[in-house]
Every structure is written in structure tokens, then in C-alpha cells.
Amino acid sequence: DGGITQSPKYLFRKEGQNVTLSCEQNLNHDAMYWYRQDPGQGLRLIYYSQIVNDFQKGDIAEGYSVSREKKESFPLTVTSAQKNPTAFYLCASSIRDRVNDEQFFGPGTRLTVL
């Protein structure tokens, strides 16, 4: 079955540590996205990639980094520079990055900083 997967489902991190969240899709989609979800704030765009080897900052990119070396994979690294990283992280993909392309979401990763 085609879909988008994220791992792990739950992640705990000590302050000062970098951590990488995985996102994989087998939908043959060109575009991929990372969002952060906080209670009462909706989804905010961290980074997005329209094509392999290219990515753009979203609205809240500070303290995060990404790579897009393969079409199927768009990992997100939460660095120690991110001051408030505890949140629910959602990855999404779409066929292209056109305005009418539906975004398909993964199940999310809940990151907690101890």
C-alpha cells in the first residue's frame, strides 16, 4: 500500500541534543513538507521541498534543518538551537507543489524534551 510513514511515533530528547525525525513516502510525490503542531495554534510550516536536492524555509525554520537526498525521504533534524522543541511534528507530501495538489499526511511524531 502507498503511504507516508514517520518514525518514531514518540521521541524523548535531553536538552542540548540534536535529534532526527524520519519521514518516508512511497507515493512517488515530488513535494514534501514538515509542520509543527502546538495546542491551539494549528499547523506551522517548518521546511518544504519541491524536488530532490532542493528545499525552502517555511515560517518557523530557525533551530531546524532538513535534507532531501532521495525523492522518498525528507528527514528533519531538531537542533539544540530550537528553544522550545516539544511538539507534535507532521510530515506531508503532494504530487507537486501546485495550489490544487492535496497534501497527504503521515501519522506524526511526538517529541518531548526532558
Partner 1 sequence: GEDVEQSLFLSVREGDSSVINCTYTDSSSTYLYWYKQEPGAGLQLLTYIFSNMDMKQDQRLTVLLNKKDKHLSLRIADTQTGDSAIYFCAESKTSGTYKYIFGTGTRLKVLA
**Where does this chain bind partner 1 (CB under 8 A)?**
4, 6, 35, 40-45, 56, 58, 90, 92, 97-100, 102-108, 110
d(CA 25, CA 71): 8
Separation CA 110–CA 90 (nearest Å): 9
- Min dist CB 13 to partner 1, Å, is 19
State in angstroms the smallest separation of the CB of 16 from partner 1.
27
Q: Of the two residues 17 and 56, which places its CB atom closer to partner 1 in the complex? A: 56
Q: How far is the CB of 80 from partner 1 (least distance, A)?
A: 27
Q: Which of 74, 108, 69 is nearest to 93 (CA)?
A: 74
Reduce the DSSP state of residue 94 to 3 states and report it: strand
